Amino acid sequence: LTSENYPDVKRDPRFKKLTSDDLNYFKSILSEQEVLQGNELEDLSFYNEDWMRKYKGQSKLVLRPKTVEKVSLILNYCNDEKIAVVPQGGNTGLVGGSVPIFDELILSLANLNKIRRFDPVSGILKCDAGVILENANNHVMEQNYMFPLDLGAKGSCHVGGVVATNAGGLRLLRYGSLHGSVLGLEVVMPNGQIVNSMHSMRKDNTGYDLKQLFIGSEGTIGIITGVSVLTVPKPKAFNVSYLAVESFEDVQKVFVRARQELSEILSAFEFMDSKSQILAKSQLKDAAFPLEDEHPFYILIETSGSNKDHDDAKLESFLESVMEEGVVTDGVVAQDETELQNLWKWREMIPEASQANGGVYKYDVSLPLKDLYSLVDATNARLSEAGLVGDSPKPVVGAIGYGHVGDGNLHLNVAVREYNKEIEKALEPFVYEFVSSKHGSVSAEHGLGFQKKNYIGYSKSPEEIRMIKDLKAHYDPNAILNPYKYV
Ligand code: FAD
C-alpha cells in the first residue's frame, strides 16, 4: 500500500491493521475519555496533521492514557501484536515526526499532565511528560525559578516533547541544552517495560548516561513519561533591546561585543533579516514597527540578571559604544514589561508569519557563524534561477533568515503559496549539500523526523548511523515506535 499523501513511501506490511479485537482490548484497559476513535477522518485531524499542515496521516485511533502503567500496557500489547505507534506531545514539531504516515496508532501524552514535585531548595522539577511547557514554567516561576528553556510554541508543546526533540529555543545561549539540564527520565520501552531514572543528582558517573539516549530521540526508542529537570533561578531584572545593523558582518561584530561586555547577563541574542520582519508586520498589523526606518538586519538582545541598576548600566554602556562606532545604526530599549513583550513579538511571530501565505519549507541548520547568512542568499538565488519566486501566481514568496546567532543556528524559512514538488526539488538536497559543504548540521534543533529522514548522512558518518540503527534494533526489535521516520 502507498499513501495518497506520500506516493514514494510504502506501508510496512509487517504492521498489523487494527481490528475490533484490538479496539476492545484498548477499551478494556482505558476509560472512554482516553480513547478517541475516528470514524470520519476529520474527527482526528488535529492529531493526524502537523503544525505546518504539511504532513498528514490517516490514523483512526488516538489513545490518551492517564497513567504510566496504562502507557506500559498499551506498548506491551502493540509490541506483541506488531501495531505501529506514533508518540505525540503537543504536536508542534516542525519535521513531521509527531504525526502518522499511514494508519499508525497515535499515543498522545496529553492526559499525563501532572506536576509531580518541585523542590524549592535544589530547583529540581519532576513532572509528567504531558505537562505543557508554559504550565511547567508558570509553576516554578511562582517559587522564583524558571524553566531553562523557552520557545515560541510554549503554550502547546509538552515538557516530554521538548525533551524528545532536544529543543533548543531562546535560552540555550545562557543555560545550555537539555542534555545538561535534564537530570532524569522515566521511559516506557517498546516492550512495555518501565525504566525509572527520575534522578535528582547533578553528578552521577556510574557508567553510561542512559537518559541521553532518549533526549532528542524523537520517539523512536521509548516513550518519555516523566522528566526531572534542573530549573534556574528566576532573574529579577530583564532588559530587551531591538537594534538595526547594516550587514551580517556587523551582526557578528555586535555578537562578539555583547558576549564580552554583557557577559553573564546576556540571555538571548537573536537576529532577523528585513524580509522576516516584513512578514511579521503582515501578522502584527496593529503594532508599530519598533524603529523608524527599514534596515537589512535586526538584532534582539535580552539581558537578565539579579540587579536592575547594574544590568541597565551595563546595557547602556554597551549600546553607547556600539552606536558610537556605527556598528549599530539604530535601536530601542524596552521601557517596561509591555514594551519588552512587544519587542519579543517581532521575533516570535516569524514562524507563524512565514506560513501565513499558504505554507513554509523550514530548514533549521547549524553553520559556522561567518557562513550563517550565506545560505539564505544562496537559496534565494537558486529559487530565482528556477523562476519560482515573485508575486502570485509564482509559488514562492521568498526565503528569509533568522535565528539564534549565539548558538550558530539559522532558521531558513521559505514562505510559499502552496507546497509543490518543483519547489521541494529546488530546495532539497541543495540546502543539505550547502550545509554539509560548510561542515554544519542539517538539524540544529528541530530534529530529523519524516522531513529529513533521508538526509541524516549529511551530518552523521556511516559508523554513527550504524550505531543508531543497532540501538534501535536492540530496544525496538519489532520497529513499532515511530516508523517511517529517521531511523
Ligand atoms: P511533538 O511535536 O508532539 O513531537 C515531536 C517529536 O517528539 C515526535 O517525533 C514525537 O513522536 C516525539 N515525542 C513527543 N512527545 C514524546 C514523548 N513523551 N516521548 C517520546 N517521544 C515523544 N524548536 C526548537 O528547538 N527551538 C525553537 O525555538 C522552536 N520554536 C518553535 C516555535 C513554534 C511556533 C513552533 C510551532 C515550534 C517550535 N519549535 C522549536 C519546534 C519544537 O521541536 C517543538 O515545539 C517541541 O520541541 C515539540 O514538542 P511537542 O510536545 O509539541 O512534541
Domain shared by 318 and 370, yes or no: no
With a Cβ cut-off of 6 Å, ligand 1 is lined by: 51, 86-94, 97-98, 109, 129, 151-153, 157-158, 160-162, 164-165, 167-169, 218-219, 223-224, 351, 445-446, 449, 482
Cβ partners under 8 Å of residue 234, min gap 6: 140, 141, 144, 145, 146
The ligand 1 atom at the shortest distance from the C-alpha of residue 87 is: 11
Element containing residue 22 per DSSP (H, E)? helix 20-29
Coil, strand or helix at 265 = helix
Cβ partners under 8 Å of residue 463, min gap 6: none
Domain shared by 184 and 257, yes or no: no
| Distance in angstroms (rounded) separating the CA atoms of residues 165 and 423 | 27
- Give per-residue pLDDT as tens, 267-315: 999 999 999 999 999 999 889 999 999 999 999 999 999 999 999 999 9
Is residue 275, in this structure, part of any structural domain at all?
A: yes
5, 282, 358, 408, 434 from 354: Cα distances, Å: 23, 10, 9, 21, 22
At residue 170, the pLDDT reads 87
User: What is the distance in A from the centroid of ligand 1 to the CA of 292?
Assistant: 36
The arithmetic mean of pLDDT across residues 316-322, rounded, is: 97
| Distance in angstroms (rounded) separating the CA atoms of residues 302 and 238 | 7
Q: Do you find a cis peptide bond into 393, omega within 30 degrees of 0?
A: yes
| Distance in angstroms (rounded) separating the CA atoms of residues 259 and 262 | 6
The ligand 1 atom at the shortest distance from the C-alpha of residue 163 is: 47
The ligand 1 atom at the shortest distance from the C-alpha of residue 98 is: 8
Domain shared by 223 and 131, yes or no: yes
| Distance in angstroms (rounded) separating the CA atoms of residues 239 and 246 | 23
Domain shared by 217 and 132, yes or no: yes
Query: How buried is 122 (Cβ within 10 angstroms: 0-12 exposed, 13-18 middle, 19+ buried)?
Result: middle
User: What is the distance in A from the centroid of ligand 1 to the CA of 295?
Assistant: 32
Mean pLDDT of all residues in the chain? 95
Number of structural domains the chain divides into: 3
Sequential DSSP letters for 342-395: HHHHHHHTHHHHHTTTSEEEEEEEE--GGGTTHHHHHHHHHHHHTT-BSSTTSS
C-alpha cell at 49: 496533521
- Give per-residue pLDDT as tens, 87-133: 999 999 999 999 999 999 999 999 999 999 999 999 999 999 999 99
Domain shared by 339 and 359, yes or no: no
Pocket test for ligand 1, best of 92, 127, 270, 412 (most atoms within 8 A of CB): 92
CATH number of the domain to which 408 belongs:
3.30.70.2740
Query: Domain span at residue 180?
Result: 115-233
User: What is the distance in A from the centroid of ligand 1 to the CA of 89?
Assistant: 7
- Give per-residue pLDDT as tens, 228-263: 999 999 999 999 999 999 999 999 999 999 999 999
Q: Which residue reads 558576549 in cell numbers?
A: 259
Which residues are registered as beta bridge partners of 297?
245, 273
The arithmetic mean of pLDDT across residues 207-228, rounded, is: 97
Write the ipTM: 0.99
pTM beyond 0.90? yes
Domain shared by 248 and 329, yes or no: yes
* Protein residue whose Cα sits closest to atom 1 of ligand 1: 91
Domain shared by 344 and 244, yes or no: yes
| Distance in angstroms (rounded) separating the CA atoms of residues 219 and 420 | 28
CATH number of the domain to which 149 belongs:
3.30.465.10
The answer to whether 191 and 75 have CB atoms below 8 angstroms apart is yes
Is residue 18, in this structure, part of any structural domain at all?
A: no
